[in-house]
A and B are shown apart, each in its own frame.
Chain A
Amino acid sequence: DSGVTQTPKHLITATGQRVTLRCSPRSGDLSVYWYQQSLDQGLQFLIQYYNGEERAKGNILERFSAQQFPDLHSELNLSSLELGDSALYFCASSVVGGFDQTQYFGPGTRLLVL
């Protein structure tokens, strides 16, 4: 158990809908990362937050947004969902946001868009 929690574990929804994925980092970790894992794209970095501020941005679609709250939990919002958004979404956390910080991954949220 990495200490990172993600809810929900599974999510089934329809195209065009909006969902929110939640992540609680390990106790004491200030930085949160979001990743998308699909069969054809592998693990793709979406976005990183450090102590409430956006730190780095990857291949995150405009339909997706995220934020980190004062209590350091983070939410990833996915809107206007398409079939291709079906994937595993992982959250990871690290103590600080430096380039060589160990990232601890949560168990993931499996999203299925029908």
Chain B
Amino acid sequence: GENVEQHPSTLSVQEGDSAVIKCTYSDSASNYFPWYKQELGKGPQLIIDIRSNVGEKKDQRIAVTLNKTAKHFSLHITETQPEDSAVYFCAAKGRTGGFKTIFGAGTRLFVKA
């Protein structure tokens, strides 16, 4: 079945450094890739998404890149701040398989002040 692998599971960076989280997906029909941030005690919140007809998308300090050939997409956070500390989930979704969203296992990001 469909699968999304996410790495690393834990990431610790110094404030101001960049953080990169990588995901790979198995279903080549996937064509929508959202990223969610989940803070303690809250539900996941969409921070950025990318569709398969786009290779890169940027929103302030956050960017996502997509390589459809390699079935790989990444989240880049620049100039990290302590408030970026949270769990980040990647996900993949497509028409095949009935619109199911498959999530990665999550990356716990620690930003040290």
Contact = CB atoms under 8 A, between A and B. Distances in A.
Bind each other: yes
A18 interface: no
Interface residues of A, number: 25
Contacts of A107: 41-43
Given A100-B51, A100-B93, A105-B43, A45 B32 contact: no
B95 A42 contact: no
- Among B31, B32, B44, B106, residue most surrounded by chain A Cβ atoms (within 10 Å): B44
Nearest to B32: A100
Contacts of B102: 45
A43 B51 CA distance: 21
B43 A103 contact: no
Given A42-B106, A43-B89, A48-B99, A99 B31 contact: yes
A42 B103 contact: yes
Interface of B: 31-32, 34, 36, 41-46, 49, 51, 89, 93-95, 98-106
20 contacts: A42-B104, A43-B44, A43-B89, A44-B103, A45-B100, A48-B99, A56-B100, A57-B98, A92-B43, A99-B32, A100-B31, A100-B32, A100-B49, A100-B93, A103-B34, A103-B46, A105-B43, A107-B42, A107-B43, A108-B43
